[in-house]
Amino acid sequence: MLSPYFTEEHELIRAQLRRFVEEEVQPHAKAWEVAGMVPREVLRRMGELGFLGMRYPAEYGGSDMDARASVILAEECGRSTFGGFAITVLVHTDMASPHLARFGSKAQKDRYFGPVIRGEKICAVAVTEPDAGSDVAGLRTRAVKKGNEWVLNGAKMFITNGVHADLYCVAAKTDPDVKGSRGITMFLVEKGAPGFRVGRALDKMGWRSSDTAELVFEDCRLPADAVLGEENRGFYAIMQNFQNERLVIGAMAAAESQKMLQLTHGYVMDRKAFGGSLWDKQAIRQRLSMLAARTAAAQQLVHHTAWLDAQGLDCVAQVSMVKALCGELVNEVGYACQQFHGGFGYITDSAIERMVRDARVQSIGGGASEVMLEEVAKRMGQALQD
């Protein structure tokens, strides 16, 4: 769709990404679903093509772009029809590594940025725990300073890229005597740190080519310079990073909605029943038309919010609306599209069946819809401004 929010450069990147997805993702991604992971060569290839560093400084090999580049990446990955592939990439580029970009010291950036942008070191972000998800302030993983080291104890849950990542941005409580939101610190933990291990890989309903893990820290020793950002200010770092994460998940969900509608439009035009095509049935075409209208509206909100962010304007209300709206919409669109595919939509070989399974988590992960609506409610003035 032509859009005033995007430049010629953006459209060029979109075209490159689309070609990459068609040629190097779609032909292989069913095998990745079975394997439960996206091969590392694919991420390295994306690094080579410049897709992993679009938001990062040119001095480290990035291209210094703004949130609109992340939205394009999320949309094109989402349109692949393989949500597991999309989330593997987007956690690396837009949910985990932004912690390094925003809060990393010069030494940390010098050490890690190059390999992260080239796809040689894959990132994960570990905030959620078995007993604390939506309520980030309630996390219990504890980090204690002992001499020149930090010692971490605790567990993390549902961590995307958790099994195969090399670099983890981990939240831990460093001051248990203050309110949770004030006593949390982020740490950079490398795979292989003593006392850190993957507890188990988690099997899931969807996103099957994305690896998800439980992580365990047992007297995990980290050097003093593993602190990422300011001590005891981790909660604010997490909240700041959530803005990009939620915008990107929303962009991915809206693009998936559009893709499911495209697939379904093609299907019902061809499928014959009762003397005509399914498209001839007014009930079907009107339902798809309304969902197309709502998807187009959601995409415009995504693009506008990315533009607001690119101008440096406060858009927490818009980001929260994007996450809530798109996370619910992709499920509603998926339900209708699967219905109109009839029995074929229930067969595991069909893209719709996979996309419906992949959609389910999008109203839960990265901020459940209810939590997002509370964020909107707190900013109703901004949400409703003229």
Binding site residues, ligand FAD, CB under 6 A = 91, 124-128, 133-134, 158-160, 204, 207, 212, 361, 364-366, 368, 370-371, 374
Distance in Å, CB of 212 to ligand FAD, minimum: 5
Residue closest to 126 by CA, chosen among 266, 238, 279: 238
The nearest distance, CB 193 to ligand FAD, in angstroms, is 18
Give 268 or 321: the residue with its C-beta nearer to ligand FAD: 321
Nearer to ligand FAD, 332 or 374 (CB): 374
Please, what is the minimum distance in Å from the beta carbon of residue 328 to ligand FAD?
A: 11
Kindly state the smallest distance separating residue 237's Cβ from ligand FAD, in Å. 13
Query: What number of other Cβ atoms are within 10 A of residue 179's Cβ?
Result: 9
DSSP-H helix ranges across the chain: 8-20, 29-35, 40-48, 67-78, 83-90, 97-103, 106-117, 234-270, 282-310, 316-340, 351-359, 369-378, 380-383
Q: Given the complex with ligand FAD, which of 159 and 376 has the nearer CB atom?
A: 159
Measured from the CB of residue 291, what is the shortest distance to ligand FAD in angstroms?
A: 23
Q: Which of 76, 245, 256, 353 is an active site residue?
A: 245
The answer to whether 247 and 302 have CB atoms below 8 angstroms apart is yes
- The least distance separating ligand FAD from the CB of residue 199, rounded to whole angstroms, comes to 14
Q: What angle do CA 324, 163, 92 make, to 5 degrees?
A: 50
Q: How far is the CB of 156 from ligand FAD (least distance, A)?
A: 7
Contact 134, 371 (CB under 8 A): yes
Interaxial angle between packed helices 234-270 and 83-90, expressed in degrees from 0 to 180 and rounded to the nearest 10: 160
Residue closer to ligand FAD by CB (options 49, 373) is 373
Kindly report the backbone phi and psi dihedral angles of residue 200, in degrees, each rounded to the nearest multiple of 5, phi listed first.
-160, 155
Q: Which residues of 298-337 are buried (b: 16+ CB within 10 A; e: fewer)?
A: bbebbbbbbbbbbeeeebbbbbbbbbbbbbbbbbebbebb
Q: 20 or 207: whose CB is closer to ligand FAD?
A: 207
Report the residue number whose CB is nearest to ligand FAD.
Answer: 133
Pair 363, 328: CB distance under 8 Å: yes
Residues 191, 185: Cα–Cα separation, whole Å: 19
Structure tokens at 209: 């080519």
Report how far residue 243's alpha carbon sits from residue 210's, in angstroms, rounded to the nearest whole number: 22
What is the longest distance spanned by two Cα atoms in the chain?
Answer: 80
Beta-bridged to residue 170, according to DSSP, are 126, 187
Hey, how many other C-beta atoms are within 10 angstroms of the C-beta on 1? 8
Residue with Cβ nearer ligand FAD (318 or 362): 362
Question: What is the per-residue DSSP string for 188-221?
Answer: EEETT-TTEEEEEEPP-SS-TTS-EEEEEEEEEE
> Is 245 in the active site?
yes
User: Rounded CA gap, 279 and 108, in Å?
Assistant: 56
Residue number with CB closer to ligand FAD (258 or 363): 363
Closer residue to ligand FAD in complex, CB, 175/374? 374
Rounded distance between C-alpha atoms, residue 213 and residue 8, angstroms: 40
User: How far apart are CB 307 and ligand FAD at their closest, in Å?
Assistant: 26
Q: Which residues are tagged catalytic?
A: 245
